[in-house]
Structure 1
């Protein structure tokens, strides 16, 4: 395992020595570390971090004194000052990097502060993730020392007045350690390219020169890249060019809708490894070969809180209600959905990320992503989550032996009642009515509320089958190409209006 023989910097090596495996204690240590470092900032002074640190029940005192923020509230009150060059606002020092993020539904870019402390915490979590491969059965050792093809954002960052901004994957690649450079593909020159089509073309041209063991990225864009390589070189599968390809490290969306399409591109099975890396930090990673969830990073650089995602804490539009209850890691239950709050070493405090998760194994702190607080359908109480949708698509694709790499759903009026409208990407031959009926049946099986509402106010389900290229073209028009961008599973508001205009040729 040549890649494990690398001599890591001492501070990283020290960080990899875990204390006792107690998530509650680990999280309280992280909270104390964050509060101590930020106590002299404007934010720390206003919310009395010193007083919190002296309290016996530090977690509860923190929740009592510090309010919950979403992006808009923390930006308008605090982060805008850092873009003006002011230091020591929410985190010590001046913010020199920002991750540009628009999520999957917002139109304008968000500026998420990135600090060296956050990058160091992410890096340590990534190394722990790499070392966890030792737990895999029959691991293809020779693949570990081969190239890592990372399909991320450009490392040629935008220059602002005193800061740089860009995709987090581009910032991470630009500041990656020297010892990783021999493994990193496509290399610094191609990674700087901002034009996504040019970047893909250069990767395809260079592909025969590389010996790739890992591919890393969002499934839709990785699949497109592999298809282009196979077509260019008249291959039967990607393993004819890269025989040592053994790992696909993915994240951002559920992989299940893409799995059948990926199998067609491979000459032999590979290991699929899920990660949860948001612009705000490295949250979780799969550390066991057949785990159903990802291990939460409880001992590094993020303090987590969990708000039960139910009618007591959120309204029908996914907005947090007054009087909500936030839990710490030892207070959660398996099988329930929670919205994530993060406090990080980049100045995010009790920050509502917008993702919902579920604990599959509380003892091991393993979670799955179930959706977004804004990306669910509950027009009449059907409470349809992205997790339900993903599972239904997976089951139907298996039943019909078809590949459905993309889909999205919208709610719409239907007479005096309501309907769901599905838009499904499928390049295989399929009967749209059969597909509509089967998805409806699977959702009734998966979700009791949906089944009940289909007999009352949710009167109809519509479905359009579209070519996958149409989904990709819409993303290009919205400027959401490559990197960490993914198609939203639920469309609402302006994004839905633009999608409907695009389908009738009014948005080009």
Structure 2
């Protein structure tokens, strides 16, 4: 089959799916209710199904009253039982895949179950839908005349008690259908390499020999790769290497800090950027229009959505609502019920609806303060525990602190910048910084991965704050007393910049 013919057939097949997408665009509430009752019916003979009597649930209201909203910590024991080989606990079909992810408050990593249904009806279906929506908007696309340069996680898959765990991207690549393998570069063998520096060289060697028409991966990691491609080839921009490059599919972290750097690498006005919203727990939303800054919530992936207004989240007033009750411009925490057996699960993300006909969202952050500019998922609990351990080691005493990102600039790597006001400062700030870095690595596997050999994150930068710096900042903001305090972690640099200016 010739490449142009393959491109035409692939485009035609993918665009046929658009008629199914139009169904949930027209009947979103009905499609979501159907998803919920299908999940309940499938799982009625599991331990959870019997415990909560799924067979007697005949309305969403009954489901909401019957099932508790849970965090990872509350179901970790059941997940661990499944990892050890027990089945039919929360989902009837055998689960042997677990996506390893950081972010829990009391563990270095969490293990999210990934069923065969989730692989097929959510993750791989979403990949086809992403292409479908893109092709529907760009009739002149020549996407399938070349290959997609994909950049997945650098961890290999590990076997444990008959089950497998690793980065979600590694699980997806390991189970990838033939059509996706045929249209991607590098090879699965290279994609699944565990040592990042060797993998980087292998990706460059393979991909620069291909006709790459699209890019796919997390912005921070992809930027490291592309800067290395430019350095290795001696070219001025990526079009001198891949002249038919037309789109970058990105997700995982905010793209805003990287826009200008990508425009320098890809200096064509008609080059397109398409955002996706996926996680270890599922694939949720896709940018469905050229040049849009919001995402279409995908409603037929075996995921039932609920939302809790952030003003009520974690309080006695907390109440989840279904999709058909959401309102525009309210910050919601997402609750999901999935075809991997997660029942009313808090994923920790927050979104805001920009449209309800159809349902489009913007990702607004996490339910807790965090830094996730580079995919490191650093949360408050990690920071507090790390600082506590470092103070015990060094004898230092901390009065107040905040931390934010150092954004990548060209080939310069990113990092974290800390401002710490000490009651008793450490004797050696460099020693303190090194201990802090190691403590964070031990608590958070995603941070550890990004710090590996300084590939994406360099050593943190720590400033010692002058006495009463944080008090003076709060006073200037008229926020003395009560519950007011500076956010401990932020994805932006505004707090860091203001404090550095005052730290004189």
Alignment TM-score, normalising by the size of structure 2: 0.73
Measured in 2, the distance between the counterparts of 1:408 and 1:103 equals 7
Asked whether the equivalents of residues 99 and 165 of structure 1 are also in contact (C-alpha less than 8 Å), the reply is yes
Change (3 A) 1:360 1:284: same
Residue 211 (str. 1) matches residue 211 (str. 2): yes
Q: Which of 380, 402, 406 is equivalent to 1:424?
A: 406
Structure 1: any 5+ residue segments left out of the alignment? 314-319, 377-385, 391-403, 429-435, 437-469, 494-508
Q: Which of 357, 368, 371 is equivalent to 1:363?
A: 357
Measured in 1, the distance between the counterparts of 2:447 and 2:44 equals 44
Residues 418-469 of structure 1: per-residue CA shift (max 9 Å, x gap): 67554533648xxxxxxx9xxxxxxxxxxxxxxxxxxxxxxxxxxxxxxxxx
In the other structure, the counterpart of 2:170 is 170
In the other structure, the counterpart of 1:44 is 49
Measured in 2, the distance between the counterparts of 1:111 and 1:224 equals 27
Measured in 1, the distance between the counterparts of 2:291 and 2:278 equals 20
In the other structure, the counterpart of 2:367 is 373
Structure 2: any 5+ residue segments left out of the alignment? 385-396, 411-416, 418-436, 461-486, 491-504
Q: Which of 5, 8, 28 is equivalent to 2:9?
A: 5
Measured in 2, the distance between the counterparts of 1:132 and 1:273 equals 10
In the other structure, the counterpart of 2:323 is 329
| 1:208 Cα deviation from its structure 2 partner | 2.5
Match of 2:227, SS?
A: helix
Q: Which of 479, 482, 501 is equivalent to 2:449?
A: 479
CA RMSD after TM alignment: 3.7
Asked whether the equivalents of residues 336 and 358 of structure 1 are also in contact (C-alpha less than 8 Å), the reply is yes
In the other structure, the counterpart of 1:301 is 302
| 1:479 Cα deviation from its structure 2 partner | 2.7
| 1:297 Cα deviation from its structure 2 partner | 1.1
Measured in 2, the distance between the counterparts of 1:150 and 1:48 equals 43
In the other structure, the counterpart of 1:245 is 245
Change (3 A) 1:224 1:49: same
Change (3 A) 1:271 1:405: farther
- Pairing of 1:260-409 with structure 2 (within 5 A): 260-269=260-269, 270-310=271-311, 312-313=312-313, 320-375=314-369
Asked whether the equivalents of residues 99 and 112 of structure 1 are also in contact (C-alpha less than 8 Å), the reply is yes
In the other structure, the counterpart of 2:196 is 196
| 1:51 Cα deviation from its structure 2 partner | 0.8
Q: Which of 11, 27, 36 is equivalent to 1:31?
A: 36
Measured in 2, the distance between the counterparts of 1:143 and 1:13 equals 18
Change (3 A) 1:479 1:417: closer
Measured in 1, the distance between the counterparts of 2:377 and 2:317 equals 35
Asked whether the equivalents of residues 348 and 366 of structure 2 are also in contact (C-alpha less than 8 Å), the reply is yes
Residues 79-98 of structure 1: per-residue CA shift (max 9 Å, x gap): 12211211100000321111
In the other structure, the counterpart of 1:142 is 142
Asked whether the equivalents of residues 409 and 421 of structure 1 are also in contact (C-alpha less than 8 Å), the reply is no
Asked whether the equivalents of residues 70 and 353 of structure 1 are also in contact (C-alpha less than 8 Å), the reply is yes
Measured in 2, the distance between the counterparts of 1:13 and 1:87 equals 36
Match of 1:209, SS?
A: coil
In the other structure, the counterpart of 2:119 is 119
Match of 1:479, SS?
A: helix
In the other structure, the counterpart of 1:68 is 69
Deviates more, 1:234-243 or 1:174-183: 174-183
Change (3 A) 1:290 1:427: closer
Match of 2:153, SS?
A: coil
Asked whether the equivalents of residues 155 and 171 of structure 1 are also in contact (C-alpha less than 8 Å), the reply is no
Measured in 2, the distance between the counterparts of 1:331 and 1:285 equals 21
In the other structure, the counterpart of 1:451 is none
Measured in 2, the distance between the counterparts of 1:407 and 1:124 equals 26
Asked whether the equivalents of residues 23 and 299 of structure 1 are also in contact (C-alpha less than 8 Å), the reply is no
- Pairing of 1:461-500 with structure 2 (within 5 A): 478-480=448-450
| 1:416 Cα deviation from its structure 2 partner | 13
| 1:323 Cα deviation from its structure 2 partner | 4.1
Residues 198-248 of structure 1: per-residue CA shift (max 9 Å, x gap): 111111222321111111111011011010010111101111001111111
